[in-house]
Amino acid sequence: MNYVRMPIEIESPEQLGYDRIRYNLTESSLTDARLHELWPSLGLDQALRELVLCYSDHRGHPDLRALIAQQSQAGQPSAATALSADDVLVTSGAALALFIVSTTLLERGDHLIVVRPNYATNIETPRAVGADISYLDLRFEDGWQLSVERLRQLLRPNTRLVSLTTPHNPTGTLLPLADLRRVLSLLEGHGAYLLVDETYREMAFAALPPVAATLSPRAISVSSMSKTFGLPGIRIGWLLCRDAALHERFLAAKEQIVITNSVVDEAIALRYLQHKAQHLPRIQQHIQQHLSIVHAWLAEPTTAELIECVEPQGGVVCFPRLRDPLRHDIAVDAFYRILNERYQTYVGPGHWFEQERRYMRIGFGWPSSDDLKTGLQNVTRALVDARGTALRHRS
């Protein structure tokens, strides 16, 4: 494995130091929860006090797996197959699930089709393995929509894995159910597996998208506690897969990497999911409220003159771009420097996602409403301040 650190991790707010960032629009999750807020409502005193600090079930706590399987049924279309606890492997965040899938299914030279832009790990781990990668590039001009026809053209007899993310990071767009079905039917007679990173599924703005693993035994779904619930610190995610033999190989990988999850993390996740219905309305309201702050910002004349954005359909990120840096005489590097240094505001620059730096990911779920408003204003202010820097740069 040829590991290379990714810019999104090197430049992440936790590595930079949260105290150095006043307005943090880099995050892709809801505001991080505090343990004391959850303690009484989840009954954690009782749940944690008596906990035996042993190795847990290697697949994950049986009650947690059963609950994840049961909750995966919500919003499923007809013809979906119900999942059971045996289809669930609990992992240390979605990150470990993605790592397990890539390293189990891919060896050096194996062919993979992966959507780009994407959550960086979905590209970087296959690269570290030495896979032969075809990129399914999404474009702003197409509303970041995936072309199933293009995917069909990229498919080869030896393709091992197709890797999609929906709701999408960094754009917040959704793969329509009809397209997901078309992708699955392409793969049915083929032999390749489909990985669907569904980490933002429960943050879709309209109908709850399906869990791909309920639609086909060739589909592997990945999700986690991190984003919707603002619990990245407990490092609990999972993968769902109905192919028992493949599941056994995923389990072997997990056992060789971490053996089990932390029993403390699993206990908190179990309690949280048991009380999920209490939390979801508040979370959905928060997302809608913050989305309308983003809409208002994008509609402001100065912002609208400088920035354009494809409407997100789920999650708490969007991926706007500076309309035309040269026409506005803005050097993109100067913009980021001013944004970070003068306004102490951070966004996710395009290079985190292998895109031009005039694209930026804006995370609108994590900051407080006031900080979001000010942070967004600061983006516009920094763009205005950076006017006059591009041509000077070139001469």
Question: By CB under 6 A, is residue 362 in contact with ligand PLP?
Answer: no
Q: How far is CA 265 from the centre of its chain?
A: 20
Other C-beta atoms closer than 10 Å to the C-beta of 198 total 24
Q: What angle do CA 91, 92, 97 make, to 5 degrees?
A: 50
Q: Which of 169, 216, 261, 303 binds ligand PLP (CB under 6 A)?
A: 169
> Smallest distance from the beta carbon of 6 to ligand PLP, in angstroms?
11
Cα–Cα distance for residue pair 197/178, rounded to 1 Å: 17
Helix pair angle (276-299, 263-274), 10° resolution = 80
Size of the site for ligand PLP (CB under 6 A): 13
Q: Does 197 bind ligand PLP (CB under 6 A)?
A: yes
With both helix axes pointing from N to C terminus, report the angle between 369-385 and 332-341 in degrees, rounded to the nearest 10: 140
- Of 105-113, 126-134, 224-232, 341-349, the window that binds ligand PLP (rule: CB under 6 A) is 224-232
Residue 266 makes contact with ligand PLP by CB under 6 A: no
Provide the 10 A C-beta neighbour count for residue 14: 10
Whether 241 and 98 have beta carbons less than 8 Å apart is answered as no
- Distances in Å between the Cα of 172 and the Cα atoms of 105, 219, 300, 349 are 27, 21, 21, 16
Does 261 contact ligand PLP by CB under 6 A? Answer: no
Q: Is 232 one of the binding residues for ligand PLP (CB under 6 A)? A: yes
Which SS3 state, helix, strand or coil, does residue 333 take? helix
User: Contact between 355 and ligand PLP (CB under 6 A)?
Assistant: no
Q: Does 27 bind ligand PLP (CB under 6 A)?
A: no
Q: Which is nearer to ligand PLP, 173 or 226 (CB)?
A: 226
173 is a site residue for ligand PLP (CB under 6 A)? no
Instruction: Give residues 72-111 in contact with ligand PLP (rule: CB under 6 A).
Output: 93-95
Does 144 bind ligand PLP (CB under 6 A)? Our answer is no
What is the four-CA torsion angle of 106, 108, 111, 114, rounded to 10 degrees?
70
**Contact call for residues 197 and 209 (beta carbons, < 8 A):** no
Applying CB under 6 A, among 224, 261, 303, 378 the residue interacting with ligand PLP is 224
Beta-strand pair 88-91/237-240? antiparallel
- Residue corresponding to tokens 């489909």: 194
Decide: is 346 part of the binding site for ligand PLP (CB under 6 A).
no
Q: How far is the CB of 258 from ligand PLP (least distance, A)?
A: 13
The residue number whose beta carbon is nearest to ligand PLP equals 93
Nearest distance from C-beta of residue 228 to ligand PLP, angstroms = 10
List the alpha helices (DSSP H) in 164-262: 177-188, 244-257
Output 209 or 325, the one with its CB closest to ligand PLP: 209
Asked if 378 touches ligand PLP (CB under 6 A), the answer is no
Residue 60 binds ligand PLP, judged by CB under 6 A: no
Q: Kindly list the residues in this chain that would bind ligand PLP in the complex (CB under 6 A).
A: 28, 93-95, 119, 165, 169, 197, 199, 224, 226, 232, 237
